[in-house]
Structure 1
Amino acid sequence: MKHLKYTIFILLVSIVFMSCSEGYFDVNSSETAPTTQSLDPQYRIKGAIENMFTGVIYRGSREVLGITQHGAQNVANYYSETWSSYLTTGSYFLWQNAYVYSLPNTADLIALGEKHNSPNFIAVGKILRAYGFGTTTDQYGSIVFTETYDGVSSLNLTPEFESQEVVYQGIIQMLDEAIAQINEPSDIELNANGGDVFYNGNKEQWIRLAYALKARYLNHLSKKSSGDMAYDADAIIEACSLALQSNADNAYRSYGGGEAENDRQPFSVGGYGSSRVDYFSHFFVELLKNSLDLDVAYEDPRLKIIVPEAVNGGYQGVRIGEGPLPDNATGGDDYSIGNGGFYTSPTSPTYMMTYSEVKYIEAEARLRKGDNSGAYTALKSGIQADFEKAEASSLETTAYLAKMDEEIGESGLTLSHIMVQKYITLLFDPETWVDMRRMDYSDEIYPGLERPVNVNLNIFPNDDDWIQAMVYEYNEEDRNYENMPDNTASVRLTTPVWWNVTE
């Protein structure tokens, strides 16, 4: 074991302090690979932003598609859809990508901001870092936090794990510090080298993003009722009021659609994840066919925007875990493929945070405090923004919202109406899994939701057993087994994370 630890130590140091020479993570040549202090911060910000997409957003969504049920595979019994095989053996690589690629870049950005007397870069580093830690802890629970690579200290190969509650406190603190620091006098401007691919150096938009993320993480606490991290609807609503104000503030990465796989949206043809999502799922397609959950179905205009029509016509999704029928060889032409739509074409953007999500968060918080009128107004604003983002016509948008008023209205508003709209908006976003767990995978919240076909009954024998967290990666277990929590698959996959335990 000792020899193994030293071997992994050498490998990790080599990875962390070398440029990634090939592959999806080589988004900015040597400037994106985690290094020490060899560059000024304006040359590091682009890599810090883009590696958060490749290392956290994409990796955080890919293996949970069989849980969130946006997309499905062209074979039956696919491991991530049946919650088996690799998911039970620590072969899900969000952990490695977060700690080797994404988070080290943010640590270096902070360190470089400090070195060059530029608090604005420190602030951006903290905002991105909060997102990276937030997504990671939401999928695993307890994680390495304080003792991870910080851009200054020597690398600790056996760091302590900290509870999710402690991590959440740190995330909120980082965001608050960033909001306070970003407008402090800085020797180097954020977009000095054109690296701020989010906001072109607009600090007020970065502040809005920080508040949006703060609202998101505070909203995760919906089952907490005591202590410093108790759910506070008013604090969430306040954060939303200071967060993204329109689609112009959306935080996203765009793609050129070129030959290189890192220049194409990950779930598009030729993108890094093109083999991972072959079809849209039955659940998602059927939801779009009647997203208002009316007795007489009313088709969502976004169906034909997001989901390509099947070769043989119509819109049909594949049931998770089942594969296309009548067989996997010829059944595919009857189903809507998982790429080529508005969000899955080579030039489609990938979103970190949107104005629509902010309004859905606000709507949930207002509904929980009994403000149905405010909740309904926020929900409609979120829907309108999402229709506009998806380039639906104004006539389609107006008709859909009018149908809502006619059939639902503020008096008929339920949590399901909010969460269904949020589910549609957060296509291929790891945040969806957070919501589904908070909602206890309820088919009253998500009409038509069912467990996968061929689900792993060895670990999930009962109808109400759903996956709750991810197994830590095997390389972390080999290297740092003394500090990590119980990593037995039957424990990790079925034990709720901290914010999902009701107080």
Structure 2
Amino acid sequence: MKKNLIITTLCCSLLVLAGCKKYLDVNKNPNITETAPLNGLLSSTTYNTGYNVYRLGDNTSYFVQYLASPNTASSSDTYDIVDYSTSWENMYNTMSDLYDLIHQADSVGAYQHAGAAKIMMAMNLSMANAFWGALPYKEALNGAVIQPHFDADKDIYNSTLALVNDGLADLDKADPKILLTAERDLIHHGDAAAWKKTGYALKARLLNRITKMPDYDPAQVLEALSHAYENNGDDAQLTQFQSRSPWNQAAYDNTQNLLDGWLSTHFVAALNDSSFGVFDPRLPLITSPTRYGDYRGTINGAGRIGTGTDDDECYLSINGFYSRGGAPLLILTYAECKFIQAEAAFRAGDKTTAYTAYIDGIKANMDKVGVAAGARDAYVTNPVVAVGAANITLALIMKEKYVAMFLHPESWTDVRRMNYQYKDFNLPENALLPEFIRRVAYPVSETSRNGSNTPAVTSLAQRLWWDQ
């Protein structure tokens, strides 16, 4: 799968570079409109912003035990130091294009493009920040500094919030000189109002990231959510791909004995009634039963128990919601917003609002995945789930958010905020750390060319600033 992804990424990069060259040639004629280069960059950045959710999620899904490697003691599972140079380069290529889009849009009064681009910059920067911590940012994107300094972890976080606020302000400006176009905006299809909702949803996610910090303010989180998504139709997602959607490629590869997309025992147990005593109807819409007629995962770090070709365990299904042909890549969703609301309200002491949002989040995700109404209602009225406002707990809210955020890299942020205190969540077998992973190492591509500025990482158990 990794080989296929690299080929796809290179092909996309060549297409974008060729397009940029063409657009730059056009720009030499002062009589030609700026619309072409702006919308060319809009197309590439919306595509790659969505794809970057997959690219990082493909790494973090092993840390949060959505997925498990079929190979014993695989580096993906055991907290080995892995070189994520490809992920780093993809993130920075996207952010460099966004930097260009922002500056071009600002220069011609294309406020909608500028607003969407700043929100996407915040998305990508916040994903990279949660993965690596401190990053080159202020000196890194204009190409003028070959060895840029790293901005501190907390400074990057503050920059993401500033970008969101600036993007929202741009989207509020009247009389944009160039409008977003539906065919080039691959996330919201030219809908500026939808980008505003996404900006507020992202702001809520970011404000909720610092629950361990003394300046965490649930009221600010709830205020941002009041301007965010109202239903599943508002979701930010990518539905157009060069060929197969990436998780569909993983599922397809597995059918061709290129083992990929194996579900972790922890995730399967959370849904098959082993851990919580209630069967989750989303499970058959994610995977298929084993040859034994039940649902079994693979223990992280242990590897497969059989040949890997006999359906002894569960894998991403080529018919599953997340991995079927054309399956959307979910960037930010209404369901996530409801769980953020549930958590913020709970932390503010408002259990009634927390419980309502918790139930609404479950329903929203089940509707998104395609659970039948009867099965959905049976689940949310099961006593294990329907505990009532007086008995709602943060653990229940985060368990349901964990299920709803399947394969999304933001789940690793949540798991760390909760100190990995999820029911039946255990260290992987053959783990190289005596505790859970908290960060990743900087990639070789950066340490080799910018080593004097790259912060030292003493251990993958070293916590980022918001995770203290």
- Common fold, TM-score beyond 0.5? yes
Q: How far is 1:25 from its partner?
A: 5.1
Deviations 1:260-297 (A, max 9, x none): 356874533159x9957342111111100239x65xx2
Cα gap change, 1:484/1:173 in structure 2, threshold over 3 Å: closer, same or farther? same
1:298: which partner in 2? Answer: 278
Runs (5+) with no aligned partner, structure 1: 1-19
1:288: which partner in 2? Answer: 271
1:50: which partner in 2? Answer: 47
1:177: which partner in 2? Answer: 166
1:447: which partner in 2? Answer: 423
Tell me how far apart the structure 2 counterparts of residues 404 and 104 of structure 1 sit (CA, whole Å).
50
1:5: which partner in 2? Answer: none
Is the CA contact 1:96–1:473 (under 8 Å) kept in the aligned structure 2? Answer: no
Is the CA contact 1:360–1:379 (under 8 Å) kept in the aligned structure 2? Answer: yes
Is the CA contact 1:469–1:496 (under 8 Å) kept in the aligned structure 2? Answer: yes
Pick aligned residue for 1:94 from 87, 93, 105: 87
Tell me how far apart the structure 2 counterparts of residues 75 and 467 of structure 1 sit (CA, whole Å).
19
Pick aligned residue for 1:416 from 395, 403, 408: 395
Q: How far is 1:235 from its partner?
A: 0.2
Find out whether 1:187 has 2:177 as its counterpart.
yes
Find out whether 1:140 has 2:109 as its counterpart.
no
Tell me how far apart the structure 2 counterparts of residues 21 and 129 of structure 1 sit (CA, whole Å).
23
Q: How far is 1:109 from its partner?
A: 1.5
Q: How far is 1:31 from its partner?
A: 3.5
2:299: which partner in 1? Answer: 319
Cα gap change, 1:50/1:22 in structure 2, threshold over 3 Å: closer, same or farther? same
Secondary structure of 2:330's partner? strand
Find out whether 1:279 has 2:262 as its counterpart.
yes
Which TM-score applies when normalising by structure 2?
0.90
Is the CA contact 1:183–1:203 (under 8 Å) kept in the aligned structure 2? Answer: no
Cα gap change, 1:357/1:498 in structure 2, threshold over 3 Å: closer, same or farther? same
Tell me how far apart the structure 2 counterparts of residues 25 and 168 of structure 1 sit (CA, whole Å).
30
Aligned pairs for 1:357-376 within 5 A: 357-376=336-355
Tell me how far apart the structure 1 counterparts of residues 343 and 246 of structure 2 sit (CA, whole Å).
36
Tell me how far apart the structure 1 counterparts of residues 466 and 246 of structure 2 sit (CA, whole Å).
36
Tell me how far apart the structure 1 counterparts of residues 417 and 257 of structure 2 sit (CA, whole Å).
29
Find out whether 1:485 has 2:455 as its counterpart.
yes
Find out whether 1:166 has 2:159 as its counterpart.
no
Pick aligned residue for 2:65 from 63, 69, 78: 69
Find out whether 1:307 has 2:287 as its counterpart.
yes
Segment drifting more, 89-98 vs 466-475? 89-98
2:409: which partner in 1? Answer: 430
Is the CA contact 2:251–2:315 (under 8 Å) kept in the aligned structure 1? Answer: no
Deviations 1:37-87 (A, max 9, x none): 725212221110111133x21221222222111112222111111112xxx
Deviations 1:332-355 (A, max 9, x none): 421112332221122211100000
Tell me how far apart the structure 2 counterparts of residues 421 and 276 of structure 1 sit (CA, whole Å).
28
Cα gap change, 1:144/1:216 in structure 2, threshold over 3 Å: closer, same or farther? same
1:474: which partner in 2? Answer: 444
Deviations 1:176-217 (A, max 9, x none): 1111111322121101x6211222221111000000000001
Cα gap change, 1:35/1:477 in structure 2, threshold over 3 Å: closer, same or farther? farther
Tell me how far apart the structure 2 counterparts of residues 253 and 33 of structure 1 sit (CA, whole Å).
23
Is the CA contact 1:279–1:339 (under 8 Å) kept in the aligned structure 2? Answer: no
1:112: which partner in 2? Answer: 104
Cα gap change, 1:421/1:103 in structure 2, threshold over 3 Å: closer, same or farther? same
1:382: which partner in 2? Answer: 361
Is the CA contact 2:271–2:279 (under 8 Å) kept in the aligned structure 1? Answer: yes
| CA RMSD between the two structures | 2.5
1:336: which partner in 2? Answer: 314
Q: How far is 1:366 from its partner?
A: 0.5
Pick aligned residue for 2:74 from 59, 78, 83: 78
Find out whether 1:40 has 2:40 as its counterpart.
no
Q: How far is 1:108 from its partner?
A: 1.8
Q: How far is 1:466 from its partner?
A: 1.0
Find out whether 1:59 has 2:55 as its counterpart.
yes
Q: Which amino acid aligns with 1:447?
A: K
Cα gap change, 1:361/1:322 in structure 2, threshold over 3 Å: closer, same or farther? same
Tell me how far apart the structure 1 counterparts of residues 426 and 65 of structure 2 sit (CA, whole Å).
10
Between the two proteins, what is the percent identity of the paired residues? 26
Cα gap change, 1:428/1:21 in structure 2, threshold over 3 Å: closer, same or farther? closer
Q: How far is 1:254 from its partner?
A: 1.3
Q: How far is 1:452 from its partner?
A: 0.5
Is the CA contact 1:338–1:344 (under 8 Å) kept in the aligned structure 2? Answer: yes
Q: Which amino acid aligns with 2:298?
A: V
2:30: which partner in 1? Answer: none
Cα gap change, 1:123/1:406 in structure 2, threshold over 3 Å: closer, same or farther? closer
Is the CA contact 1:308–1:339 (under 8 Å) kept in the aligned structure 2? Answer: yes
Aligned pairs for 1:257-272 within 5 A: 260-261=243-244, 265-270=248-253
Tell me how far apart the structure 2 counterparts of residues 404 and 255 of structure 1 sit (CA, whole Å).
40
Secondary structure of 1:475's partner? helix
Is the CA contact 2:268–2:297 (under 8 Å) kept in the aligned structure 1? Answer: yes
2:209: which partner in 1? Answer: 220
Runs (5+) with no aligned partner, structure 2: 25-35
1:204: which partner in 2? Answer: 193
Is the CA contact 1:255–1:264 (under 8 Å) kept in the aligned structure 2? Answer: no
Tell me how far apart the structure 2 counterparts of residues 330 and 264 of structure 1 sit (CA, whole Å).
19
Cα gap change, 1:33/1:127 in structure 2, threshold over 3 Å: closer, same or farther? farther
Q: Which amino acid aligns with 1:109?
A: L
